[in-house]
Structure 1
């Protein structure tokens, strides 16, 4: 589904069903150098089981037009304008990695509009090493390869993840290469800089009152579970669920992620 946000196209995948703003809405927000497709296995289930789905492509990513935004607060503003354009008053926000910071900031800007907050593969502060930040600026392909390796717990997924012959690491690498191909304006560097610079996470976390889920990968090297202490202690009512996965939880453990999110959405 194409919406017009800030004067340009904003693409939202609706899970294979027509979007119906009268149903409970769940918004899925991808991370750096990704697009809506990282949520494909989860969003289709939600869309066929009583929810309306908006899996966004952030500006400059996938099918959404415009330049990639340089800060998490600006991305949160954009996300809230997506809800306006879709005619949605309230929604659950589920974000992965950088997307979790966008969801958190959006909940701070408009708490009455967020029914549930799901933070997948999240941490705060979400600092990026100087070397990786510089590599993403000067040698994007090397940065893609580095992050792809660090985001997966193994090079060989079990056959059911998500299907026989599916190459999880290869698919992730190709997606990031595709984002570079369609938008050569250093999207990875822009995304990493936004994560690195976000400074309102603790304040935003202190204000969270809605049901909150922290869904973490036990073998995540990008946002290790031990690094989430500030968030989980600040949002003390949040539920913590850990799955046997690296940072790419949605592809490495699609069923476990779906089970956790779907159960949480019904609370």
Structure 2
């Protein structure tokens, strides 16, 4: 589904069903150097079980026109503008990693528009080491390889999404490379990481959030370990779900992550 948001073309995957703004809406927000496809299983389940779905590509990522936005706050404003463009008054906001901060900031900026807040693989502050920031700036392909190594808890997963025989780790690496190449922006990984590292508004946003909040965390996550989400979880009075996976929970433990999301949306 294509929309015009802040004067530029934006893309949202609707889960295999025509978008219907009359249904309860779920907005999925991806993380750094990802796109809507990380949500395919969860988005399709929602679309086929009574929800409308907008699994977005953030500006400058895959199918949404650039330039990429450089702050979490700007991305949150863009998400709220996308809701306006889609004719949606209220939605559940589901974000992964960088996207979880965007979802939080949007829910804080417009509390009446967030029916639920679900933060997947999150942390606050979401600090990025100076070494990784520099690697993402100077050698983005090497940064992709390093982050891929850290983002999954095992080399191979049991048969699951997207199907038996799939190489989850290799697929994640390939997606990041594709997003980087698609936009012809060698600084995109650095920009996304810098936005996470610079964001300081989470506790202020949390104080304004009125939506029921769930954190879905990977028990073996090395990028955003569960202990790094403690303070924001307390501030949000959030329900905590833990999944036996690394940072990219949706790919590594798809069934458990979907089950946690279903409970969060119930």
Task: Please give the TM-score of this superposition, normalised by the length of structure 1.
Answer: 0.98
Q: Is the 8 A contact 2:108 2:207 kept in 1?
A: no
Counterpart CA distance in 1 for 2:12 and 2:169 is 24
Root mean square deviation of aligned Cα: 0.8
What are the ranges of 5 or more consecutive residues in structure 2 without an aligned counterpart? Answer: none
CA-to-aligned-CA distance 1:131-186 (integer Å, 9 cap, x gap): 00000000000000011110000011112344111000111000000011111221
Residue 198 of structure 2 is aligned to residue 197 of structure 1: yes
Counterpart of 2:19 in structure 1 is 19
Counterpart of 1:133 in structure 2 is 133
Q: Give secondary structure in 2 for the equivalent of 1:46.
A: helix
Counterpart of 2:81 in structure 1 is 81
Counterpart CA distance in 2 for 1:119 and 1:221 is 16
Residue 21 of structure 2 is aligned to residue 2 of structure 1: no
Tell me how far 1:66 sits from its aligned partner: 1.5
Q: 1:19 to 1:161 in 2, by over 3 A?
A: closer
Deviating more after overlay: 25-34 vs 162-171? 162-171
Q: Give secondary structure in 2 for the equivalent of 1:54.
A: strand
Counterpart of 1:40 in structure 2 is 40
Q: 1:124 to 1:7 in 2, by over 3 A?
A: same
Q: Give secondary structure in 2 for the equivalent of 1:19.
A: coil
Counterpart of 2:60 in structure 1 is 60
Counterpart of 1:219 in structure 2 is 220
Q: Is the 8 A contact 2:13 2:56 kept in 1?
A: yes
Counterpart CA distance in 1 for 2:93 and 2:161 is 25
Counterpart of 2:234 in structure 1 is 233
Deviating more after overlay: 152-161 vs 20-29? 152-161
Counterpart CA distance in 1 for 2:214 and 2:234 is 13
1:152-163 equivalences in 2 (<5 Å): 152-163=152-163
